[in-house]
Amino acid sequence: MATTINSPVLTPDNAAVGSKGVQITQRALAKIRAAMAKENVSPEEGGLRLGVSGGGCSGLSYQIRFDSKPRERDRVYEFEGVRVFVDPKSFIYLAGMVLDWEESLMKQGFNFINPNSSKSCGCGSSFSA
């Protein structure tokens, strides 16, 4: 089932041409900025950490949280002053993914649109590759 994205997709400011990294939508960026301000996370030092861990009803679960700084081997993407950190193990599963923000009567939250996912659960927070 194809997912429709109703917000412009942003390519990282620091992306190499043709690189298969992580992208976010304009809507997701606005929500990340607002949450960072609410949580007092400095965009100059901290950022949003995206990751994957074992578990969930489909085998792997998406992880999303704020971090005070990137780790040594992280891939760091910058979107209009907001940084996104991805560790090397998670990058294997997240390369090419688009992070969107969805608001409907049934759901409000981040939506991981992941081309590496072969199957996902009903809630969208876990998947299998």
pLDDT of 87-100, one tens digit each?
Answer: 999 999 999 999 99
Among 3.60.21.10, 2.130.10.10, 2.60.300.12, 3.90.1170.50, name the CATH number for the domain at 21-128: 2.60.300.12
Residue with tokens 């900025």: 33
pTM for this model (two decimals):
0.82
Mean pLDDT for all residues in the chain: 83
Q: What is the mean pLDDT of residues 65-82?
A: 95
pLDDT of 6-31, one tens digit each?
Answer: 677 887 876 654 567 899 999 999 99
Question: Which ranges in the chain belong to alpha helices (H)?
Answer: 26-38, 88-94
